[in-house]
Amino acid sequence: MNIQPFKIAISQADLDDLRARLARTRWPNQLPGVGWSRGVPVEYLKDLAEYWRTDYDWRKHEAKLNEFPQYTTQIDGQYIHFLHVRSPELDALPLILTHGWPSSPVEFLKVIGPLTNPRAHGGNPTDAFHVVIPSLPGYGFSTPVREVGWGNLFRIAQAWVELMSRLGYERYAVQGTDVGSGVALILGMIDAQRVVGMHLTGTGLPPFGPSVELEGLSEADRARGQRFNAFQADGTGYLQIQATRPQTLAYSLNDTPVGQLAWIVEKFQAWTDPEALLPEDAVDRDQLLTNVSIFWFTGSGASSANAMYEGMQAFRAMVAQQSQGSGAQQSEQSGPPTGVAVFATDNTIRSLFDPGNRISHWSEFDRGGHFPAMEVPDLLVSDVQAFFSKLR
């Protein structure tokens, strides 16, 4: 039950080692004219890595992170790191936010102020939240992971239930993105008496499921279906590797910072707003590098890959179980209200994601992408506030 205050304090030796490794990078050749089609271009990554080595100021961003109250606690044998920022509004609604891959609580930094203190950001104080932002097990400072099983989203959700109990919250809201959206949905199932609602972003169709049939879809949904089909054909390489051979990949991610950088940056190029040509056109470059730096310093490129392996094993087992069942398991679902926000690069199609039309709040935006808290924090905050305003 013990909760301990936590401060990030990366040693100078680790900083010096990072810069030395960046300086000694053994760069590969690249064929001419291929751009981003085969992965991150060499010249782009050289420029970004040099900025990381010489201009990016980790100590500055470490200090900014440490301005937020942070804690650790041990749940089911695993150390869990989390931010806990209470609102100045005493009757604020507790809200737990869960990130996905390849991310960390850094993803939510731009939304903490508007969510906890809307009065100071031109908003309505009745929309205030007490915010809890954990690091997923195997990510960031929720490391190391010393046993198998922490990639299972049900186990993570059970840990979040215990975390909110330890913080004294008897009633709370849930928001999750990417992997975190799965955790959010499970929280609504296993703690329905306390969860007032679940708000989801970064949702999508199963990556190894059938392609989307485009006939009969609206123009907007047809575009989403085309993106999903293209993703299935050409975008799941990272998932196939992490879901099958995470330990083999771990050696590269843990030994070369440029390898870790490329592994993450490619997704920020592919998954952010389609109008953004480069990752830093969609997200702040320093915020991106702070996220990558946390992966590097904690070695969580390796442990998050293993978490994805376990998560996919659990997902495949669930799909197999459902295929052997009656198919009626979804017909009578009930629980707290669900809200979904779909951004410009998402491929979530309502008629396929919510065939029973049970989702009470559905928003679609023509800006933003897979990381809305970093790309379009204003849209995310307003949608979260709108959804939960009826559930307080």
Residue 363, Cβ density class (10 Å: 0-12 exposed, 13-18 middle, ≥19 buried): middle
Which pLDDT score, from 0 to 100, does residue 31 have?
Answer: 96
Which pLDDT score, from 0 to 100, does residue 327 have?
Answer: 42
Q: Give the residues across from 159 on adjacent strands.
A: none
Percentage of the residues of the chain whose pLDDT score is greater than 90: 92
pLDDT of 134 over the 60 cut: yes
Mean pLDDT, range 343-353, rounded to an integer? 95
Phi, psi for 115 (deg, rounded to 5): -75, -40
Q: How confident is the model at residue 326 (pLDDT cuts 50, 70, 90)?
A: very low
Q: Are strands 70-75 and 195-201 parallel, antiparallel or unpaired?
A: unpaired
pLDDT of 224 over the 60 cut: yes
pLDDT of 205 over the 90 cut: no
Which pLDDT score, from 0 to 100, does residue 325 have?
Answer: 65
Which pLDDT score, from 0 to 100, does residue 286 have?
Answer: 98
Phi, psi for 68 (deg, rounded to 5): -90, 135
Cα–Cα distances in Å, from 190 out to 77, 156, 162, 228?
A: 20, 12, 11, 30
Q: How confident is the model at residue 329 (pLDDT cuts 50, 70, 90)?
A: very low
Which pLDDT score, from 0 to 100, does residue 323 have?
Answer: 67
Q: Poorest-confidence range of 74-78, 260-264, 318-322, 351-355?
A: 318-322
pLDDT of 320 over the 90 cut: no
Residue 92, Cβ density class (10 Å: 0-12 exposed, 13-18 middle, ≥19 buried): buried
Percentage of the residues of the chain whose pLDDT score is greater than 70: 97
Secondary structure (3-state) at 228: helix
b/e burial code for range 160-195 (CB count within 10 A of at least 16 → b): bbbbbeebebeebbbbbbbbbbbbbbbbbeebeebb
Mean pLDDT, range 316-324, rounded to an integer? 76
Do 338 and 359 meet the contact criterion of CB atoms below 8 Å apart?
yes
Tracing tokens 């900083």 back to the chain, one arrives at: 15
Q: Choose among 314, 308, 316: nearest CA to 138.
A: 308
Q: How confident is the model at residue 315 (pLDDT cuts 50, 70, 90)?
A: confident
Q: How far does Cα 83 stand from its chain's mean position?
A: 15
